[in-house]
Chain A
Amino acid sequence: MKSKLIKFSLLGSLFLVGCAGPTVSYVDPNAVTTLNTNFSQNDLRAVAQDMSTQLIQSGKMNQCKSFTISPVKNATDQYVDTSVMTNAMADKLTNSSAVKSTYVVSTDEMQNQTDELARQNQSGMYDQSTTAKTGKMKGAQCRIDGKLTSDTQTNGKQTVVAYTFFVQVFDVQQGAAIFRNSKNISKGQTN
């Protein structure tokens, strides 16, 4: 009876060891991730953070009463969700106590905005004295434009990928640039 019990517990423990799956844990979202040379989420946040900080520090944003952000052009050969960059920049600029400029709806957010206005004004479901009126939206005085580029160089087992993130701020009416800056990140891999 005792030996049977031992056999069962041994089999049980072997079963548990055999079924041990991958380990999952929470990790610091601000930590460095160097798993490959791809443009990571951290790189996205780091460049957006750096560019918006430089822009705030320059004081140039206060030349604009309102601003919007155009979608960042991805000129790399990778899929990069550049909305993370535009959102991170908009967050930093909007939440800064040093920026007086107001963020207004961007191209990406326009469809939801017009849908809501149409719903309130055209569905016939709302008390018209409480609805937001069309034709009252604020136009952006300034527009932030960005572009991400990459250049890959390989030599046998070594690869270096250089990324550059350009940011420009334009006065929409004049088309004049009031701020320009870029940030470089290079990642190397040896196989």
Chain B
Amino acid sequence: MKKWLLAALGALSLIGCSSNKISEHSVQVGSMGDISITDMRSVRVNGLLVAQAKFHNSGSSAQTGFYRCQFSDANKMAVGDAEVWQPITIYNNEDQPIKCMATQLEATDFKVEFSADAKNVSVFQ
């Protein structure tokens, strides 16, 4: 009985967290440099969508990129306002995950925007 319960719980947790097609959920703003997105997944926590993208730096030195997330509802309407670009440093050969969290229950889909070049997302350089 216990075994069945554990198996059912395991299956439910797998359904709860799903991996996503990277191209459908990512937007490259300018160059990606040596950075690539290697994994994309999402899960619902307290009814809110949490998205995770894993960045990998295949270059020989650390690189600082910028990312932000956009959420949309079931009708593909944007949920919430555009957010501030966040910096992230990815060291060479490192996998660095970033998490974005929706603040609206209506959010059902997400996109992660990334730019490896500060010039694309900066006001002045």
Contact = CB atoms under 8 A, between A and B. Distances in A.
B83 A32 contact: no
A27 B122 CA distance: 9
B80 to A, nearest CB: 8
A161 interface: no
B85 A32 contact: yes
A53 B101 contact: yes
B122 to A, nearest CB: 5
Contacts of A31: 85, 121-123
Contacts of B118: 32, 34
A77 B66 CA distance: 27
A111 to B, nearest CB: 29
Contacts of B5: none
A98 B101 CA distance: 12
Interface in B79-125: 82-87, 101, 103-106, 118, 121-125
A54 B50 CA distance: 11
B89 to A, nearest CB: 10
A57 B122 contact: no
A58 interface: yes
A42 interface: yes
A50 B106 CA distance: 19
A9 interface: no
Interface string A51-66: 0111011110000000
A30 interface: yes
B101 A57 contact: yes
Contacts of B85: 30-32
A50 B87 CA distance: 13
A17 to B, nearest CB: 24
Interface stretch (B6-14, B17-25, B30-38, B41-49): B41-49
A96 B87 CA distance: 25
Given A30-B82, A46-B84, A57 B50 contact: yes
Given A46-B86, A97-B104, A57 B123 contact: no
Interface of B: 45-48, 50, 66, 68, 82-87, 101, 103-106, 118, 121-125
